[in-house]
Amino acid sequence: MSAAAVARVHRALATRPRLPLATLPTPLYEATRLRAVLGGSETCPRILIKRDDLTALGLGGNKARKLEYLVADARAQGATTLITTGAVQSNHARMTAAAACVAGMRCVLVLTTSVDEPAIAGNLLLDKLYGAAIRLVPSVDPMLAVGQDEAVVAAVAAEERAAGRVPYVIPVGGSSGIGVCGYIGGTVELVEQLHDMSLSRRSRIGEGGPSRLYYASGSRGTQAGLTLGAKLCAAPYRVYGVAVSAGEPEKIERAKRIANEAAALLGLPERLEREDLVTDQNFIGEGYGIPTPAALEAITLFARSEAILLDPCYTSKAAAAMVRHLRAGDIPPTETIVFLHTGGMPALFTEGFVDRYSPDMNGYL
């Protein structure tokens, strides 16, 4: 970590309006029991878990960091209604609805679904509890997690204006230049925590600094913020995204574009190139929101070793990649890795998970 670089990023972020919504900083937790299950210090590197599932807003998750900047921007523009889109079990939609409650704003969610009447469970239940108005639109491709939502979003915005309200449209996942500021700030928080643990450089006691940061990569706003943040702060690790839905190469281009928009907004000269962005496409499985056997195993592994809950859509697929790499010996045991837990637990209480999960998936323990 470069202290001067981190101070510069702090100053740049302070120029943007921000509405405190998250409980920060989130803990950086050492998963000693998980490490032991995966072979112990002889074969497995040290594992740290950045607990962004504990941001608290609306049951927690990574979107709180983005929404702090997005909702502040909406209020600065005089908006009265937040509009966003996502899958019917979208964590981002749920947290936008929660943020609207805190900000005293109206919220309309345009949600894609493959069924006419989705079960009122998980995130959708919470959307309704937070008082969001909901418009359902048909899904187009479950691999891509997209639907016929653009025209509906435009129509909703027009309806809000006709009713005398001021709409503010947040893109899917909060993935915009403004939203990217959330994980630039999240990176600053992480590298400062690593520094406090003497892990921003090689340790004198034999274990190395963090070499890789694993996280689940969806709409790519988190990817953009983490990767740009790592570059700005001279972070010691490589940002390693694990895709949860298809859509390359357009998604990489989106991440590059919004990261560079964020840098420009903050008045910083650094820019990302395509090769800076890493996304592993090998753990998507059948598509977005459909858990793989390896993801289901990872859910059980984290729960029974650390009592940490992963979700079946995002974090479990990223954890499945990490576990496979650790079992294969791809990362030396003298190193340290970080797993970013981005939340999403409401999906554990949906038919999509319950119908696929078996509590007997513990043969590896």
Mean pLDDT, rounded, for 99-110: 98
Q: Is the pLDDT of residue 365 over 90?
A: no
Alpha-carbon torsion angle 97, 313, 337, 42, nearest 10: 140
Predicted pLDDT of residue 206: 40
Ranking 98-102, 140-144, 303-307 by mean pLDDT, the lowest is 140-144
Dihedrals φ, ψ of 304, to 5°? -85, -15
Residue 293: helix, strand or coil by DSSP?
helix
Q: In the structure, what pLDDT confidence band is assigned to residue 142 with cuts at 50, 70 and 90?
A: low
CA distances to 211, 218, 327, 335 from 208, rounded to whole Å, are 8, 29, 19, 4
Q: pLDDT: is 248 or 106 the higher one?
A: 106
Predicted pLDDT of residue 186: 98
> CA 174, 255, 332: angle at the middle one, nearest 5?
110
> Residue 247 and residue 252: Cα distance in Å, rounded?
9
- Residues annotated as part of the active site: 90
- Residues across the chain: 365
Q: In the structure, what pLDDT confidence band is assigned to residue 364 with cuts at 50, 70 and 90?
A: very low
Burial of 153 (0-12, 13-18, 19+ CB in 10 A): buried
Residue type at position 194: L
Percent with pLDDT over 70 in the chain: 93
CA 362 to chain centre: 27
Question: Over the Cα atoms of the chain, what is R_g?
Answer: 20
Domains of the chain: 3-60+175-354 (3.40.50.1100), 63-174 (3.40.50.1100)
pLDDT in tens, 161-219: 999 999 999 999 999 999 999 999 999 999 999 999 876 544 433 455 799 999 999 99
Ranking 32-36, 48-52, 247-251, 336-340 by mean pLDDT, the lowest is 247-251
pLDDT in tens, 279-313: 999 999 998 889 999 999 999 999 999 999 999 99
pLDDT in tens, 264-276: 999 999 999 999 9
Partners of residue 283 on adjacent β-strands: none
> Residue 214 and residue 133: Cα distance in Å, rounded?
34
Strand order in the sheet with 167-170: 146-147, 133-141, 106-113, 81-87, 167-170
> CA 339, 92, 110: angle at the middle one, nearest 5?
155
Predicted pLDDT of residue 254: 95
Q: Which two tokens stand for residue 225?
A: 């913020």
Residue 167: helix, strand or coil by DSSP?
strand
